Every structure is written in C-alpha cells, then in structure tokens.
C-alpha cells in the first residue's frame, strides 16, 4: 500500500473533518451496534485516525486500531493510547481465532479485488467461531459514482464471505455529511453488512433491528 500510505500520511491532519467528523463516526459506530452483539475484543481494520474506533470503544468494546499509515495512527494514538497496530490489512499480525468483532469501514473500495479478498480471508482467520465481521460495501455508489472495480460490491462480498465460512447476519447503513468524493449534493448513505463466522452451533439471523 505504498502510494496509499503516503496519501493517508499526508491526509491525516485533515481527514476527520473532511470525512464527516464526529457525526459520521458516531453514525458508523451505531451501524455496527445494529449488527453485532455488544462487548468483547474488536479489531478496527484500516481504522485510520481512530475516529470510528473511539466511538466503538466508548460503546464498550476493547478496540485495537490496525492501519498501514503511520500518520493516521498518530492521530489514533491520541484517542486510544497504546491501541494501535501498524500493518497491512491483507497480512495482519493477529492470532487465529482471537477476536470477537472485525470492522472494516471504508477500506475495500480502495483495494484491487485480490487484495480485498485477502483482507476478507484475514478477517475470517482472526475471528473466533461465532465472531462477527462488519464491513462497508458499495461506497462509490453511495457517492453517486460508478465504481472503478468491484472490490466492495455487496453481492461479490457476500459470495466471498460465504466461501470463507462467514454467514450473512444482515445489512444496515449510515449517512453523514461527507462532501469528499461525492458526485451528488445530498447526504450519501453508506451500506454496511454484517457476517458471523460459522461454528457448529447457532442459527444465522439478524441481531437488533438489522435488515437483510
């Protein structure tokens, strides 16, 4: 992610306010709450400045922020001291089956398809059986743009997740004023999907008020 790392290192100081600030982060965290049971360990993959991660921490999860950009993680360190991990998302230095929840907010659309699929496979690997993955999908469409590649296409992500043993829990969305990247004048609505790592026990179904 060399080019991307340089971009986000430079962007870190302005990132939060240009991407919807605290209101957007709060809305994203509320979407996670809709899809997964509360509490436990949460790995926020590509958590950036930790603005969403800190909301999730306030909601009771023990959060670790993983990101490839040192600049973004420096901002995250002020929010969640000692809870940063600089690493690429498709090779996470995290033990198998050790995490209750993995969140991936606004990452997959940035990646080529093979890398996005490795990130999903890594998420499946680090989750404990019964643990949950929550990811944003179809981000470009939310901005009124035609996606450059299908990395975060909802149907595609569903299929890859299923092959990895992640059963669909449901979908929801969050909105937030984020002028950045939008081709439309209205507030974008960002779709979010939840999956559960299948174990031998328990049916797959929605948690809270999630809808498929």
Which positions touch ligand SAM (CB under 6 A)? 1, 4, 8, 46-48, 51-52, 67-69, 72, 88-90, 105-107, 110
Q: Which two tokens stand for residue 190?
A: 């960002």
Provide the minimum distance between the beta carbon of 13 and ligand SAM in the complex, in angstroms, as a whole number: 13
Residue 58 sits at the vertex; the CA angle it makes with 55 and 60, to the nearest 5 degrees, is 120
What are the start-end ranges of the H helices in 1-112? Answer: 2-18, 21-35, 51-58, 70-79
Comparison of 151 and 153: residue with beta carbon closer to ligand SAM:
151
- How far apart (Å, rounded) are the C-alpha atoms in residues 212 and 153? 15
Closer to ligand SAM by Cβ: residue 132 or 199: 132
Q: How far is the CB of 211 from ligand SAM (least distance, A)?
A: 22
Q: Residue 2 or residue 200: which is nearer to ligand SAM going by CB?
A: 2
Residue nearest to ligand SAM (CB): 48
Q: CB of 181: closest distance to ligand SAM in angstroms?
A: 9
Residues 6 or more apart from 131 whose CB is under 8 A from it? 97, 99, 100, 101, 102, 196, 197
């Amino acid at each position: 992610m060399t080019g991307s790392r340089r971009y986000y290192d430079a962007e870190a100081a302005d990132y939060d306010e240009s991407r919807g600030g605290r209101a957007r982060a709060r809305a994203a965290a509320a979407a996670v709450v809709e899809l997964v049971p509360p509490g436990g360990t949460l790995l926020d993959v590509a958590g950036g400045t930790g603005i969403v991660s800190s909301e999730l921490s306030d909601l009771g999860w023990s959060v670790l922020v993983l990101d490839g950009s040192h600049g973004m993680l420096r901002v995250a360190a002020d929010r969640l001291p000692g809870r940063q991990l600089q690493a690429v998302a498709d090779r996470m230095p995290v033990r198998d089956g050790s995490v209750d929840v993995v969140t991936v907010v606004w990452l997959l659309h940035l990646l080529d398809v093979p890398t996005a699929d490795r990130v999903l496979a890594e998420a499946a690997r680090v989750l404990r059986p019964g643990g949950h993955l929550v990811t944003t999908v179809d981000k470009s469409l939310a901005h009124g743009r035609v996606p450059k590649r299908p990395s975060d296409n909802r149907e595609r992500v569903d299929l890859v997740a299923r092959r990895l043993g992640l059963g669909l829990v449901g979908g929801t969305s969050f909105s937030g004023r984020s002028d950045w990247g939008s081709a439309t004048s209205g507030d974008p609505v960002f779709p979010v999907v939840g999956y559960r790592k299948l174990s031998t026990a328990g049916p797959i179904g929605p948690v809270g008020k999630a809808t498929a």
